[in-house]
Amino acid sequence: MATANGTLQGKVALVTGGSRGIGAAIAHRFARDGAAIAITYASSPDDAHEVVASICHAGGRAMAIRADSGDTQMVQQAVRATAEEYGRLDILVNNAAMLRIGLIDEFKLDDFERMLAINVKGPFVAIKEALHYMPKGGRIINIGSVSSEYTPINGLSVYSSTKGALASMTRALARDLGDAGITINNVQPGRIDTAMNPADGPIADRVRSMIALGHYGHPNDVADAVAWLASPDAGFVTGANIKVDGGTSA
Ligand code: NDP
């Protein structure tokens, strides 16, 4: 992991789904770069409070908010609570997502709707609300997936569709937000070792053979790219899709 550099001193960041995995790595990285952090979670309060405690123990500022990304009012409230607690909101990372794998004949339509709500509508609602608070120079970073353009295993039609929608939304919003001086980008992880995609899971060896670098990524690999997009160095980058996939889609 790259050395933290204090580039986010004085900034406030909200990371959805920050209680573990990639979201937790982003929260820790932002905190080390100097930002005050809010994370959301849906069902893992202990993990969320552990992330908060760890950041505060290291001298940072952090808070956890229970907010199901599929629930519009909870998402709006999470954004508001962050801005009210810290007095501003500079960075929004839409990281929370739901993954269900299944072939079309067996895929439950309720799951389809829930995935759309969490993976697509949730980010849109969070962005819409965040724009009430975000100043010029603000940063929005969506966490998509390389699955939006590369699906080497069966059963990913719904998940890939939601991540494709997120990528398209990102590009279109880059146009809409340009005049406000706010950038928005989409980071597309490949196979990253988390609870969602464990490196010792049942299909891990097959998956590993598809990665050019030959191994799963670490959540910090994604956090490093996100930290760069949030930093002043990425001020002219907007509407981009950045793959962090170890060459999975090469
Ligand atoms: P994890 O399952 O490890 O963590 C997911 C996080 O999101 C948890 O903090 C979880 O908290 C939270 N979360 C899940 N559902 C909701 C919800 N409805 N509302 C609010 N929070 C929620 O996932 P990853 O870290 O692996 O994934 C993070 C992002 O990266 C996702 O967008 C995923 O699609 C993307 N990604 C991951 C890849 C991988 O290989 N790991 C590959 C490509 C993309 P709680 O348990 O409390 O719900």
Domain CATH code at residue 102: 3.40.50.720
State the chain's mean pLDDT as an integer.
Answer: 97
Residue 58 forms part of a structural domain: yes
Residue 4, in any domain of the structure: no
CA of 95 to the centre of ligand 1 (A): 6
Which amino acid type is present at position 130?
A
Torsion angle, CA of 117/243/151/93, rounded to 10 degrees? -10
Ligand 1, residue 222: give the atom nearest the CA.
30
Could you tell me the residue range of the domain that residue 162 belongs to?
12-244
For 83-135, how does the pLDDT look when each residue is reduced to its tens digit (9 = 90+)? Answer: 999 999 999 999 999 999 999 999 999 999 999 999 999 999 999 999 999 99
CA of 18 to the centre of ligand 1 (A): 8
| Nearest alpha carbon, ligand 1 atom 11 | 41
Q: How confident is the model at residue 4 (pLDDT cuts 50, 70, 90)?
A: low
Taking the centre of ligand 1 as the mean of its atom positions, its distance from the CA of residue 94, in whole angstroms, is: 10
Check if 150 is active-site.
no
Q: What is the pLDDT, as a whole number, of residue 231?
A: 98
Q: Is residue 2 part of a domain?
A: no
* 141 part of a folded domain: yes
> Residue with the nearest Cα to atom 8 of ligand 1?
17
pTM for this one? Answer: 0.98
- Atom 10 in ligand 1: residue holding the nearest Cα: 17
The tally of domains found in the chain comes to 1
Give the residue from 189, 183, 185, 182 showing the smallest Cα distance to 223: 189
Strand partners for 65: 40
pLDDT of 138 higher than 70 = yes
| DSSP 8-state assignment for residue 180 | G
Q: Which of 41, 133, 159, 216 is flagged as catalytic? A: 159
